Amino acid sequence: MLRLPALEHLSVSKAAWDSIRSSLPVPKVLAPLRVLRLFTKGRAGMLAHRVLDLSLETLWIAELCPQLRTHLEVLALPAESVRVSLITASSWPHLRELFLYGCCPILDAPLLQMFDMLPKLRAFTLAVAVARGEASLILCPRNSRRSPDISGLRRLTLASTSPKDGIFVHVPPELEELSLRDVPRFYERRRWGSGTPLDRAYGTHVLSCGDVLSIFRTMPRLAALNHLELVVIEDEHELDLLAYIAGSCSQLASFEFHCYRNVAEYDDLVNAPLAVPLDVLGKALATFRSLRVVRLNIDLPWSEVTISEHYDRWFADGVTYAQTIAQTIAWAVPWLDAVCVLVRDESNLHQWSMWTVDESCGDVQIREFERLRGVQYKQTSVHPVSRAIDAYRSAERHCEEDAVVKVIETHPHTSSTRTSCLEAISTPGAPSPAAGSALAAS
């Protein structure tokens, strides 16, 4: 395949690395690839459960990528099989998007030097898990004499980061998308309590609200920011953080907010109250005047540890609680197109339940996309669907698996239906990924 003369785009999803081993040595004459994505969902989780020999994978990447360097525009790689020197050794004159995911890369060169070799970089993702006991990854030490030129950057995703990272000083005000997230997802590692393979393998590097507020005060005002994802541990700075973002990010249309209760032990979640009540959170979000889609995980999303007064334990599925969240936020922010709430379904899979918001008749109403089967959904309102889907195209850039979504719109006053199909590959950095109305959470 690598020899095909017309091949410009190669994406290997859920890659079977055994097949890659058979391609060694790398051919001397390669296809003129502009896009190369080697991507496996849940890579960090897989490596936490078993030890893999990655030496051949590392060798394959080290042999292949330098030969593609002069014409690659998009590159996504498993970070634990990437030596940083692979990027820093020579210039990548046309590379616009670089995605490193999984576990910590091989740090045989300073991470900061990567930006010197990426003059056209517009999207950068370092979504990696850090081994337990190791410090957060720092792209730019604050005492560094080097100033990275990332003025062209428009999308930035960082996991296992720190407010001490000097990279935030250099973020351009034209940034359009920002994600400060966790790898692996906190709700996955805490699903069965402490002592899981994920807990033993990786440290918990989730920023506090105060940490993120410090980061935002370091950056310039992000007036062009359209999409924001934050994963935080709640503290007394939560409302201050939201107020600061609302004031400095005037064009924010899509906001994904994971906020976890600050407890020392997993069992404490049963009795720990939320630091910011639901109605107060709604009032805080009401200051985001451009907001169109909000995705909320303001509590651990499974019913066993939900302590909200709105939750009906009789049903033991969290549906009542999730809908209450959606309705409360919709009343507070009636100009939203959609509210999404992270839930865990009967198969123990995390997904976003989505409600569209309709205020056309005076009263604010929400209508749910109901699960039919697989990833098919129906809903009973027409107005906000297209706008919500458009906003989701930005939000779902960080989705970690292919998505095919069917939306069946049922007219409220007739029994007729119409069906439209949205189909795309939502691998990291896809130029225009399709929106999932309720996708399995990454």
- pLDDT band with cut points at 50, 70 and 90 for residue 397: very low
State which residues form the domain around 222: 206-371
DSSP string, 248-284: H-TT--EEEEEEE---SSGGGGGTPPPSS-HHHHHHH
Whether the per-residue pLDDT at 71 is higher than 50: the answer is: yes
- For residue 15, is it within any domain? yes
| Domain co-membership, 221 together with 335 | yes
- Total structural domains within the chain: 2
Among the three residues 338, 371, 404, which one is the final residue of a domain in this structure?
A: 371
Indicate whether 274 and 127 sit together in one domain: no
Whether residue 241 sits in one domain with residue 104: no
- Same-domain pairing of 257 and 341: yes
Largest Cα–Cα separation, the chain: 67
Instruction: Let me know if residue 355 belongs to a domain.
Output: yes
Last residue of a domain, one of 343, 371, 399: 371
Q: Give residue 157's identity as a one-letter amino acid code.
A: T
Look at residue 300 in the predicted model and tell me its pLDDT: 63
More confident: 93 or 8:
93
> Is residue 136 in a domain?
yes
Domain-embedded: residue 384? no
| Domain end call among 105, 137, 164 | 164
Residue 121 structure tokens = 């970089």
What pLDDT digit, counting tens, does each position of 268-296 carry? 766 777 788 889 999 999 999 999 999 99
Per-residue pLDDT tens for 358-384?
877 556 677 775 544 333 333 333 334
| Same-domain pairing of 222 and 138 | no
DSSP label of 441: P
Residue 194 lies in a domain: no
Q: Are residues 9 and 112 in the same domain?
A: yes
Helix, strand, coil share of the chain (percent; to 5) = 25, 25, 50
Is the separation of the CB atoms in 325 and 280 below 8 Å? no
Question: In this structure, are 35 and 158 located in the same domain?
Answer: yes
| Residue 229 shares a structural domain with residue 146 | no
Per-residue pLDDT tens over the stretch 199-254: 788 888 899 999 999 999 999 999 999 999 999 999 999 999 999 999 999 999 99
In a domain, 396, yes or no: no
Same domain, yes or no: 156 and 234: no
215 and 142 both lie in a single domain:
no
Is residue 177 situated within a structural domain?
A: no
